[in-house]
Amino acid sequence: MTVIAAMLLAGTATLGAVPAAAETPPGAPYVALGDSQAAGTGNLPYVDDSCLRSKKAYPLLLSAASGIPVASSACAGASTQDVLTGQLGDLGPGTQLVTVTVGANDFDWRAIFAACSSVGSDAACAAAVNAAQATVAALPLRIAQIIGTVRTLAPNAQIMVTGYPLIFGTVSGTCSIGAVQGEQVRFSAAQALAVNNGVTGLNMAVQFGVAAYVGQTGDPGVEYVDIAAGFAGHGLCDTGDRWISGLVSGGPVQQRGFHPNAAGQQAYADTIAAALSQ
């Protein structure tokens, strides 16, 4: 069991005695990197309006459970390139834990959702997902580059790279996800499956990037975390409680659409904590 895992299980553990400032290695103890999933976008209140970073985001939940202070650079809309060029400033030899959730914004999800649902068709939806999947070949290398850069900057950190939850779960009929301008938006079972397949392809690319890095370097401190498994039964139109928000009209709350809600952010934190404890 790692030191990080022991702290997470203890729940109230602290970092121990703090040495003199001159002896403290640089780097935040826990650094969170990534996109809107890691920022907790859609779950008010925000601690950073520019990045839509929420107090209910999973990095803050992990930090509270472990007693390890977190510095989160996660930002809505961030791509793999954004992580590499703008989110690594808090890393250092003193960093013990790094979580990374990124890759979704390297795909054109706007085109996918525009082609799907009741405003599109099953055929258009499948075509949009297939077109987005054409970019998946480049993602494993980008993920491996992020891990390698993080490892260089944070040589002592446990690096946990997460996937994404399947948005819809298992859908057997028509799935209603909310309304836009008073009109209900629905996904057919075929459209929901197509979108889920897109997320599965994204997760496979992220996982392959992690495996490629570990296979090349033998680094034992890097792990892929299967978030989809942790969300099983809790998709938008699944059998259990929704852990992903549907469409909500008006003001900042409209940012919730297709993002994990507060329960989903807790599921992220719990799934990562369970992986750390193994």
- Kindly list the catalytic residues: 36, 259
Residue that is written with structure tokens 């989809």 in the block: 228
With b for 16 or more beta-carbon neighbours within 10 A and e for fewer, the 120-131 pattern comes to bebebbbbbbee
Distance (Å, whole) CA 206 – CA 87: 18
3-state secondary structure of 218: coil
Q: Environment class of residue 167 by beta-carbon count within 10 Å: exposed (0-12), middle (13-18) or buried (19+)? A: buried
DSSP 247: B
Q: How many CB atoms lie within 10 A of CB 86?
A: 12
Cis-peptide into 45, omega within 30 deg: yes
Integer Cα distance of 157 and 168 in angstroms: 34
Cα 62 → chain centroid = 13
Total count of residues recorded for the chain: 278
Chain Cα centroid distance, residue 228:
10
Please answer whether residues 97 and 160 qualify as being in contact, where contact means their C-beta atoms are separated by less than 8 angstroms: yes
